[in-house]
Structure 1
Amino acid sequence: MRRSTILIPAGVLAVAGGLTGAVLWLTQPTYDDRVNDCARALKEPHTERGEGRPEECVGVKDGDFSALVVDAALDESGWVDENGDFDKNKMLDDVGGDLP
C-alpha cells in the first residue's frame, strides 16, 4: 500500500474532526448568556419555579447568582424605578417610614 492511500483519508478525517470540534465549541453559550438566562428565570413567578436554584442558573458563579437574586427581589418588591435603579422613596413608602 502506498503512503498516500493512508495519509489522505487520515488527513481528511483529522480536518473534519477539527471542524466539528470548532463548531461545537463555538455554539456553546457564553457566560453572559447563562447570566441573562438566569436573570430571566429568577423573574418568573415563584409558583412556576419552585424552590432552589433554577436550572438556567447552573454554571453561574455564586456571587453573581446572589446579586441576581437580590435584583429579582428588588424588582418584585416594586422598589425599582423606571430606569431599573433602586428607589429608596418607594421602599420607605412601602414600609411606612420617612426619609431622614
Structure 2
Amino acid sequence: MLRKFWDCRKEYQERVRKKRRVPNMNNPQPSYFQNEDILHLSLSDEPEAGSVEISPDITAELNENGDLIGIEILAASAFLRDSILKSAQAKLLGLSKKAA
C-alpha cells in the first residue's frame, strides 16, 4: 500500500514538474573545470538558447522555452567555501541559542 502511494506521488510530482516547467534537480550533472575554477551544473541535455546573470559569478542557462537547463558558477571554490561557512555559522548560532 505504501509503495503504491509513493509511486502515485512520484507520478503526480512529475506531471506537476512538466506542467510548471520546473527542472529536474534530482540528477544534476556537475562538471568542474579546475584551471578556470568554474563549476557547471547541467540539468538537461537540451541546447542553450539564452542565459541570465543571477549575480556577478552565477549564470542561469535557459532553453528556447526559457526553462532552466544549467547553472554556471565562476570562482566556484570561493563560492562553495563561503556558502558552506555561512551555513555552518547559521547552524552553530542556532545550536548555541538553543543551549542558552
Task: Compute the TM-score of the two structures, normalised by the length of structure 2.
Answer: 0.24
The structure with more radius of gyration = 1
Q: Which has the higher strand share?
A: 2
Task: Compute the TM-score of the two structures, normalised by the length of structure 1.
Answer: 0.24
Q: Which has the higher helix share?
A: 1
